[in-house]
Amino acid sequence: MSTGTGAGIAGVGQAAGQIGAGFAAKRQAEKNADLLEELGILAAADELRAGKKLVGTQRAAMAASGGDPNEGTFIDIQAETASKAARSALRAKFAFDSAAFAQEEAGRAALIAGIVGGAGTLLGTATSVLGQPQAGSTGFSGGTTRQVGAFSRNNSAGGPGPSAFTGFA
């Protein structure tokens, strides 16, 4: 195996590794995002549960003080408590959803970086391998060979002089 072939195989392997790492990072980020979304749902449920518990405590305190928890100001207080619990639940869910979105974006960025890195490696490898003439090769396609000095001004082979080959000084 020639040096160019070995470098080409190594370059392809490295590019595949970079692209594979990008896909792996994206999959992991998606898993993290899914987990964060589930945690957001649980956090919101906890906030709502805490709000309901507080409303229950308020109702018991109102009833113990001789008031009717189903009338006037008492209802307003309970409604405000429930509203605060709902807002708190939404904030908790939003925080986790934002973190999940950030994870998804990081995964997409990792995938793109892996693909671009792999493509760059492939291009660099191709440039390196194609730019190196192999043993017995001239670097030209079609098997053309070039002999340096074959058509010089001091052509001792008796061929035509320099005027017949302009540009080959």
Tell me the pLDDT tens digit for each residue of 49-89. 999 999 999 999 989 998 888 888 889 999 999 999 999 99
Most confident of 67-71, 157-161, 162-166: 67-71
Measured distance CA(9)–CA(35) in Å, rounded: 39
pLDDT on residue 1: 56
What's the half-sphere exposure (Cβ side, CA atoms, 13 Å) at 81?
17
Whether the per-residue pLDDT at 164 is higher than 70: the answer is no
Most confident of 1-15, 31-45, 135-149: 31-45
Measured distance CA(107)–CA(100) in Å, rounded: 11
Q: b/e per residue, 120-143, with b = 16+ CB within 10 A?
A: ebbeebeeebeeeeeeeeeeeeee
Measured distance CA(165)–CA(92) in Å, rounded: 82
